[in-house]
A and B are shown apart, each in its own frame.
Chain A
C-alpha cells in the first residue's frame, strides 16, 4: 500500500450521540478508527509519525501516516525518520501515540472542547500495566474521554468470526502481526491467556529479511530496494511452502517448475544509445589526414637527408680541391699552406676524405634502402634476371649481372635476419625453461633437506658413465680452466657468453631422478611435449587451491542487469515464521506454538483439545501469505495424535476483522459495564487497571 490516499476529514462527528463509543484498533502496522456499529473503520492510516523541518519557514511540522514522498522535497528530513510508538508490540512512546491519536480524532471530525465518547482501544496480549495506565492517562487527561475499555485484537477477530460461523466457541486463534505472533486458545468462547503463547516474529521480520537478502544479492541496486518497495514485493510474491526442504531442493536442481516460480522485477532501465559505426566519408577523411601527415614527415626526412648529402659532397669537393692544390704547392711551403687550412699533414686530409666519402656513401645507401622499402614489388627491380643472356645488349648484360649480385646479397641479408630472429626465439624459450628448472629446484631444496644424505646431486664419481649434458658441462669447465690468459679476452661481449655459466652450474643437469619419480615422469612428459609442440608450457606450479581469477571484461549493461529475480526468496522469507532459527531467534515457530499452547491449557480432558484443533483461525496481516493454512495444518498434524481432527480456517478478513469484532463488541449493551471510567481512574488508580480484564462473551 504505497502512499495510500490521505483520509479526508469526516463531517458527521456531531451527529453521533455522546454515548456512542469510538473504536480504535491500534495495530503496529495500521491505526484504524471508526464508529461502533459500522461495518468498516472510518479512517485507516499507517501507525507512523514523521516530524521534519519545513525548509522555507524553518518550523517543525508533524506528518502522521503515509504521504506522497514527492512532497518531501519541501522538508528537511535528515534528523527525523518515520517513528513508531511501539517497542515490540507494546506502546512505549506516548508522545508519538499522542500525535497519532490527535490525527485520528481530527480526521474523525472532532471539534468540541473534548472527545466526549467512550473509547474501546485494542492492546497486545498481557500488556504491561505501565503501558496500559499511561494510555489511559493520556486518553482521560489529554482528551477528556469519559470512559475507556481495553481489549485484545486477536480475540475480537476470533469472536467476530465465531459470530459469522467460521469458527467454534472452542478453538485456537493464530494471529501473526507486524512484530509478534500469538496463539490464543479459546474455551467456551473465552480466551485462555494462561495458555497463550507469543513469538517475537512477524511481518516486519519477513520484510526486513527479504530486503537484506535482495540488497546483498544485488549490491548494485541497493538504492532501488527501499522498504516500501520490498513490502510490496512481499505482499505480491511471497508464499509459504508446504515443505521447505523439498521446495528448495526443486530450486537447487534447477527444475522446470522452479524456473516457472521465479519472479522478475524489472528496474527502470533505458538502453544506452547505440554507437553508430563511422561513415565511409569519415574513414576516408581520417585516412587522408593520416596519409597527408605521413607524406609531410617523409618529405621532411628526405629534405634533411638530401641537404646532408649536398653538405658532405661540398666538403668532399673542398677536400679534393685542397689535395689538388697541395700537389701544386712546393715541398717547403707545405707546412705554412697546411697551417692556413687547419690540417697538420697530408695524411690527415686524406683520412678526412675517406671519412667523408664513407658517410656520404652511408647517407646515399640509406636513401636507396628507403626507396627499396617504398617499392612494394621486389621483382620489378630484377627485370633482367629471367631474360637469357643472348637476348641482351652488352650494357643490359652488365646491368643484369649487377641485379643478380644485388638480389643474392639482399636475399642473404634476409636469410640472416630470419635466422637471427629464430635464434632469439630459441634463446628466450631456453631461458624460460632454465628459469623454471631453477625454481623447481629451489622448491625441492627447501622441501627435502633430509634427502641430502644420499648424494644424488651433480657430483659424479670416477668411472661412472656420464650422460651428454654432464659431459658437455665437464668440457666447459675444463676449457674455462685452461683457456685463461690465452689470446684476446672477448668474453662477455655477446649475451650468449653468459649462458655458459648456466650450462656449467650444477642445476642444469637432471639430477633429481629417484628423488621424486612422479616429478621425473612429469619432466619427461613435459620435455617430450615440448619436442612435439615448442609452444607447450607446463603448468606445474598451479596447485589445486589456486583459483584462476578471470579478469572481467567490460561489457555494456543490458536489460538483464536491471532485473531482480525472486526465486527461493519467495518462500524463504515467510519460512522464518515457522523456523525463527533462520534469523537467529531462538523460539518456536507458528506450528510448534500451537502444540505448546495446547500443552499449557490448565483444564484438560473432555476432548477439549480435539475441539480446539478442530477450529483453528488464522488472522493478522502475515496470515495473508498463500499456502499458510496448508502449512499450519501439516505442522499441527505432526504434533497431534494420529487421526486428530484438524481444521484450519482463515478469518473472513484477516486484517480488518479485529476492528469489526471490536465495533460489534462495543455495540452490545453490556459494554458500558466493562468500561473503565474517568471516575474509576481518579479513585481506583493504576492498581485497578492491573486486574482489569475484559469479558468477551455476554
Chain B
C-alpha cells in the first residue's frame, strides 16, 4: 500500500474485533453472483399488504395520489411556458428560436430531453 493511502486512512480494516463474523467469512470471495438482495418492488410484493386492513398505514398506501391540478406544459429546453409542440420530435417549445434549435438537435439529444420528463421512446 502506498504511504499516501495509509496516511489518508480511507480503507475499512478487514478485521474488526466487535464483529461476530468477519465480512470475508460472511461473504466469501467469488460467491458474489449467488447473493441477491430483493429490490424494493420485490420486498413490497412479499409484504402481502392485501392481507391487512386498508386502514393500516403501509409503505404502499401512504403514497401520494396524482395531482389534482392540470399539469402545466413547459418548454423542454428553456423551461418557459410552452404553447407549442413539435409534431416531429414531440418536444414542447416556447418560441420560434427554440424551435429552430430543436430542429438542429441530433436525435440522441431529443431523446435525452424527452427522457427528462419520462416521455422518451424506450425500445425493449
Contact = CB atoms under 8 A, between A and B. Distances in A.
Question: Are A and B co-members of a single complex?
Answer: yes
Interface of A: 6, 54, 56-57, 60-64, 67-68, 71, 74, 87-88, 90, 92-95, 98-99, 102-103, 105-106, 110-115, 124-131, 141-144, 193-194, 196-200, 209, 212-213, 216, 219, 245, 248-249, 251-252, 547, 568-569, 572, 579-589, 592-593, 596
B37 A102 contact: no
A95 B27 contact: yes
Contact of A126 (B8, B21, B38, B62): B62
A587 B66 contact: yes
B59 A126 contact: yes
Interface string B38-52: 111001101100000
A63 B118 CA distance: 34
Given A71-B8, A95-B27, A131-B43, A142 B20 contact: yes
Given A74-B5, A92-B37, A92-B39, A212 B20 contact: no
A33 to B, nearest CB: 14
A60 B17 CA distance: 20
A176 to B, nearest CB: 13
Given A92-B40, A216-B109, A547-B100, A592 B117 contact: no
Nearest to A245: B81
Given A63-B11, A216-B112, A588 B5 contact: no
A62 B109 CA distance: 37
Contacts of A114: 18, 20
Contacts of B67: 579-581, 586-589, 592
18 contacts: A92-B39, A99-B12, A99-B23, A102-B23, A105-B16, A112-B17, A114-B20, A128-B59, A130-B47, A245-B72, A249-B80, A251-B80, A252-B94, A547-B103, A568-B79, A579-B71, A582-B117, A586-B67
A248 B12 contact: no
Given A103-B12, A193-B62, A245-B81, A581 B72 contact: yes
Interface string B9-44: 111110011111101001101000001011110011
Given A251-B80, A583-B116, A113 B17 contact: yes
Interface residues of B, number: 59
Given A196-B62, A587-B64, A130 B43 contact: yes
A127 B46 CA distance: 13
A116 B109 CA distance: 55
Contacts of B58: 126, 128
A126 B57 contact: yes
Nearest to B119: A584
Contacts of B11: 61-63
A124 B60 CA distance: 12
A71 B64 CA distance: 43
A490 B118 CA distance: 76
A124 B59 CA distance: 9
A583 B109 contact: no
Contacts of B94: 252
Contact of B18 (A64, A105, A249, A586): A105
Contact of A94 (B37, B40, B118): B37
A622 B79 CA distance: 21
Contacts of A219: 109
B65 A588 contact: yes
A144 B74 CA distance: 54
B122 interface: no
B121 interface: no
Given A142-B19, A194-B56, A198-B62, 4 more contacts: A87-B40, A194-B55, A216-B109, A596-B64
Given A62-B12, A94-B37, A111-B18, A198 B112 contact: no
B124 to A, nearest CB: 18
Given A114-B20, A212-B116, A251-B80, A198 B64 contact: yes
Nearest to B18: A110
Given A128-B47, A199-B64, A586-B67, A56 B57 contact: no
Given A199-B64, A216-B113, A584 B9 contact: no
Contacts of A63: 10-12
A71 B10 contact: yes
Contacts of B57: 125-126, 193-194, 196
Contacts of B109: 216, 219
Chain A CB count within 10 A is highest, among B5, B39, B47, B103, for: B5
Interface in B66-91: 66-69, 71-72, 74, 78-81
A249 B16 contact: no
A55 to B, nearest CB: 10
A112 B118 contact: no
A6 B9 contact: yes
Contacts of B80: 248-249, 251-252, 568
Contacts of A547: 100, 103
A141 B20 contact: yes
B38 A102 contact: no
A144 B118 contact: no
Contacts of A588: 64-68
Contact of B40 (A88, A106, A194, A198): A88
Nearest to A111: B17
What 4 pairs between A and B have smallest CB-CB spacing?
A584-B118, A87-B40, A62-B12, A581-B71
B31 to A, nearest CB: 11
A93 B40 CA distance: 10
A530 B78 CA distance: 45
Contacts of A209: 116
A90 B63 CA distance: 14
B70 to A, nearest CB: 10
A207 to B, nearest CB: 13
Nearest to B120: A584
B79 A64 contact: no
A191 to B, nearest CB: 10
A588 B64 CA distance: 6
A102 B68 contact: no
Nearest to A248: B80
A88 to B, nearest CB: 5
Nearest to A547: B100
B20 A143 contact: yes
Given A54-B1, A103-B12, A582-B117, A248 B59 contact: no
A63 B9 CA distance: 10
A179 B37 CA distance: 19
Nearest to A70: B4
A95 B35 contact: yes
A126 to B, nearest CB: 5
A115 B78 CA distance: 54
A200 B63 contact: yes
A283 B44 CA distance: 81
A582 B74 contact: yes
A127 B78 CA distance: 39
Nearest to B17: A111
Contacts of B81: 245, 248-249, 252
Contacts of B13: 106
B77 to A, nearest CB: 8
Nearest to A63: B10
A593 B65 CA distance: 9
Contacts of B10: 6, 63, 67-68, 71
Contact of A593 (B9, B16, B64): B64
Contacts of B56: 194
